Amino acid sequence: MKEFSILVVDDEQDVFIVTKLIASTVKVDADTVQLHYVSSGHEACTFLSQHNEIGLVLLDIVMETDDAGFKVIDYVRNTQHDNQTHIVVRSGLTGTIPEQFMHLAKGINGYINKLDFTRTHLEKLVNAAINAQGGSASY
């Protein structure tokens, strides 16, 4: 059975609930899509240190601090040295990335505004992550 795991990192639990509803309708190259949820950057780093099966992280930036999401990107890319997990910033704040975090922008696989997030977006993100892994949806 091919399973694909997503970690939703957002301090607004409603965002996870909506994502879960959307995920229940997606058509992707996996038998099942497993969603996990944490509400802070610190929790995300802890979770990711214990779970290597995550194929996609949907990441808010501003949570317990203004740069919590950037710390997660730094942790995944530079501490875990994980370039396989897709990280998509999903933020309600539009604008540019502050200069001190521009080097981390290279570590993300995309950006989408929370308000614009649809089933089609999720399908494309999941399938892109699966294809980047060589078509294998089991992690």
Q: Is residue 137 included in any domain, yes or no?
A: no
Q: Is residue 139 included in any domain, yes or no?
A: no
Strands 32-38 and 54-59: unpaired
CATH number of domain containing 105? 3.40.50.2300
Query: pLDDT digit string (tens) for 87-126?
Result: 999 887 655 566 666 666 778 888 888 888 888 988 999 8
Instruction: Tell me the torsion sign for CA atoms 68, 109, 78, 49.
Output: positive
Total domains in the fold of the chain: 1
The pTM for the full model equals: 0.87
Q: Is residue 74 included in any domain, yes or no?
A: yes
Which residue range is the domain that position 90 belongs to?
3-132
